[in-house]
Structure 1
Amino acid sequence: MNVLSTLKAKLLRAFAKRMKAKFTYDAAQYPLRLFEEKLIPTEWGPARALFYWPHTPSSEPLPVYLNLHGGGFVAGVPEHDDSYCRRLAHNLGCLVVNLDYVLAPEYPFPAGLRQSFAVLEWLAEQATTLGIDPQRIAVGGHSAGGNLATGVANLAREHQRLRVVHQVIDYPALDLAEDPELKLSTCDKPLLGPGLMRFFNRCYLSDPAHARDPLASPLLATVEQLQGMPPTTLITAEHDILRAEGQAYAQKLRQAGVVVNEKMFTDCDHMFTHLGPDATAQEAWQLIEDSLREAFARAGCAMRGTSVKPLPEHVHHADQQAP
């Protein structure tokens, strides 16, 4: 990565830090027991993570949701997802860990992915101290964070000390090998264009051949390689240039026997959960919340040997519902 591209990445990062989501929640609406920042030791340096601790009357270990922000692997900060993390922690009674993973081009693939997975393993190792349940973990992310989230879920399969029970993939980038010029939008000026996408890929992939690695481009994984992935909530937006690869990944997961809760939001573009329209953003966040609630409940009942009632029909917003 040349000096000019590195400078451009830093300028984009500075701009992204000043950005504010248009659709947010009042923090007072979702009070927490504790909000704190922790530095988690990893091979790539200390990982800054925001911890959202809910008020809960139970002394049982808490389920955990690991959130990975968007930003093309180059920019973005966990604070962009702050109000949503507060909502999820409060409403679900789970610990939300909002991670500030390392960014490209300083840390190209697979550093951000491997660091995110290392944080997941650290959480499992510290489960007793933290009071969390390592067998009830969900991961999720937006855009590039969606790519990382499904990569983390892939790495966590058959892990001895932890279990990912659900993954949330929100308008994800899943095929870095395809020429961005071939990724078309249904509107004239999509938020995420081919030029910006190409820049993100150059920063993230120090070797262009890495684009063919299924951990960089999850859509390129074979059906066999996706078997055993956790149940999935996958969100796409009608006008987003990433819509087609998100829908194709949902289909491939189904072929691998994975339960997929999929929803394409009409008349929306990339980042609509943060930028609006407000009513649609609210619907998407409700879908995420409902999916996680059911996943945590199912995992808890499975451990106790009991059954869980399915969610009422009206809260299933997806095209395919979990049985």
Structure 2
Amino acid sequence: MALPVWLADGIARLAQRGPGPKLGEAVSFADIPATAEAVTIPTRHGEVSATVYVPPAGAAEAPVFVNFHGGGFVFRHPEQDDGLCRYLAHHAGVVVVNVDYDVAPGLRSPGQTEQAYDAVVWAAAPERPWDGARLGVGGSSAGGAHAAGVARLALEHGGPALAVQLLHYPPLDLTVPSKQKWSKGKERLLVGMGPIFDRTYRPVEAERADRLVSPAGPSDTASLSGIAPAVVVTCERDILREEGIRYAQRLRAADALLEHIDLPGAGHGYNLLGKDADLVQGSYARLAGHLRSALR
């Protein structure tokens, strides 16, 4: 029996009252100085807040990277990506716009991805104090799914032009229940909350085959030719690993895969929940390198 929408929504709202993940000192990169500014971005689904991180050389003529945080499409904690945003701004020399998008059940799919796309259109506008013609998108977990969706919408709408998409352990196939994604050796972190996330985000199961929700699912067979080049990060112990691999293979077939990074021994949210600073540092360095190269 499927979880009733009213119950999933209620559990989600209760869970939203709790605090966000607290980054460990080793992975917060608090030692990296950050010039950050709060901005408001208009979208078709209302205004959203964002934090703009400015690189050491300043925003003028710098490329821009729009980041979307994770949280199962339900949790609203953009501050959890503060360390990542600091790192990318400093080491890739880019302006980072960390978007506080609306979450379910207040805003469900496809509204969240449409809001994310509108934020990227805003960031690309020539009146911004950075170079919106050199533009990338990315995100972790649910934010990575939004980044993939934004890249798809940009392909379909003819812009804005994206030089790169960084997909950091994203959920890319909601047609498969989280319980069925688990196997021996995988962590159970998302198995329990997965049904709540999925039901709250896209209540009608048949609609989860939508291209903006399940681009790694069997129903989405449209050509990805011309989509923004991508870096896909998967984690060995994450139940989302296999769908990430499938999407990386699909991107490779479209000549749009820069690199598939598979992190051995890592689990979902390794950069937020773990204490392996070397793993996080190494992963972020590879992401920053791709970003710097794509947006130079």
TM-score (normalised: structure 1): 0.84
Mapping for residues 66-145 of structure 1, pairs under 5 Å: 66-125=66-125, 127-128=126-127, 130-145=128-143
Which residue does 2:265 correspond to in 1? 267
Q: Tell me the distance in 1 between the aligned counterparts of 2:59 and 2:46.
A: 35
Q: Is 1:254 the counterpart of 2:252 in the alignment?
A: yes
Contact 1:134 1:161 in 2 (8 A): no
1:188-267 to structure 2, matched below 5 A, reads: 189-193=187-191, 195-220=192-217, 222=220, 224-267=222-265
Seen in structure 2, the aligned counterparts of structure 1 residues 58 and 172 have a Cα distance that, compared at 3 Å, is: closer
Matches within 5 A, 1:149-188: 149-157=147-155, 162-187=160-185
CA distance in 1, matches of 2:206, 2:160: 31
Compared CA separation, residues 203 and 99, structure 1 to 2 (3 A): same
CA change 1:182–1:3 in 2 (3 A) is: closer
Residue 159 of structure 1, CA deviation = 5.3
Query: What's the counterpart of residue 54 of structure 2?
Result: 53
Tell me the SS of whatever aligns to 2:173: coil
Paired residue type of 2:104: A
Determine the C-alpha separation between the residues in 1 that align with 2:287 and 2:168.
Answer: 9
Q: 2:8 maps to which residue?
A: 5
SS at match of 1:113: helix
Is residue 134–residue 163 contact of structure 1 (8 Å, CA) maintained in 2?
no
Contact 1:223–1:253 (Cα < 8 Å) also in 2? no
Cα distance, 1:223 vs. partner?
A: 5.2
Q: Which residue of 2 aligns with 1:30?
A: 32
Q: Tell me, yes or no, if the aligned pair for 2:29 and 2:87 is still in contact at 8 Å.
A: no
Cα drift, residue 91 of structure 1: 1.9
The one-letter amino acid of 2:50's match is A
Deviation at 1:173, TM superposition (A): 0.3
Cα distance in 2, alignment partners of residues 188 and 225 from structure 1: 31
Could you say what secondary structure the match of 1:123 adopts?
Answer: helix
SS at match of 1:164: coil
- Unpaired stretches in structure 1, ≥5 consecutive residues: 298-323
Cα–Cα, structure 1 residues 215 and 160, in superposed 2: closer, same or farther, change >3 Å?
A: closer
Give CA-to-partner distance per residue, 1:204-254, whole Å, 9 cap, x none: 013222201111111136454311111111111111100000001101111
Structure 1 vs Structure 2 CA RMSD: 2.0
Please state whether the residue corresponding to 1:66 is helix, strand or coil.
Answer: strand
Comparing 37-46 with 155-164, greater Cα deviation is found at 155-164
1:190–1:280: structure 2 CA closer, same or farther, 3 Å change rule? Answer: farther
Provide the rounded CA distance (Å) in 2 between the counterparts of 1:26 and 1:293. Answer: 19
Q: Distance in 2 between matches of 1:281 and 1:57?
A: 26
Query: Structure 2: how far apart are the matches of 1:142 and 1:58?
Result: 24
Q: CA deviation at 1:282?
A: 1.5
Deviation of 1:161 (Å): 6.0
What SS class does the counterpart of residue 122 from structure 2 fall into? helix
Q: Distance in 2 between matches of 1:216 and 1:166?
A: 20
The share of aligned pairs that are identical, in percent, is 36
Equivalents in 2 of 1:146, 1:67: separation in Å? 9
Amino acid at match of 2:225: Q
Q: CA 1:161 to 1:145, structure 2 compared with 1: closer, same or farther past 3 Å? A: closer
Deviation at residue 187 of structure 1 after TM alignment: 2.5
- The letter of the residue matching 2:174 is L
In the other structure, the counterpart of 1:279 is 278
Deviates more, 1:157-166 or 1:35-44: 157-166
Distance in structure 2 (CA, Å) of the matches to 1:18 and 1:89: 23
Q: Which has the higher helix share?
A: 1
Q: Decide which moves more: 152-161 or 252-261.
A: 152-161
Q: Distance in 2 between matches of 1:241 and 1:171?
A: 10
Shift in alpha-carbon separation, 1:267–1:4, aligned structure 2, 3 A: same
Change (3 A) 1:113 1:102: same
More RCO (CA 8 Å, sep 6+): 2
Structure 1 Cα separation of the partners of residues 113 and 36 of structure 2:
25
Query: In the TM superposition, what is the alpha-carbon distance from 1:283 to its structure 2 partner?
Result: 1.3
How far is 1:57 from its partner?
6.6
Taking a change above 3 Å as real, the CA distance of residues 120 and 58 of structure 1, as seen in their structure-2 partners, is closer
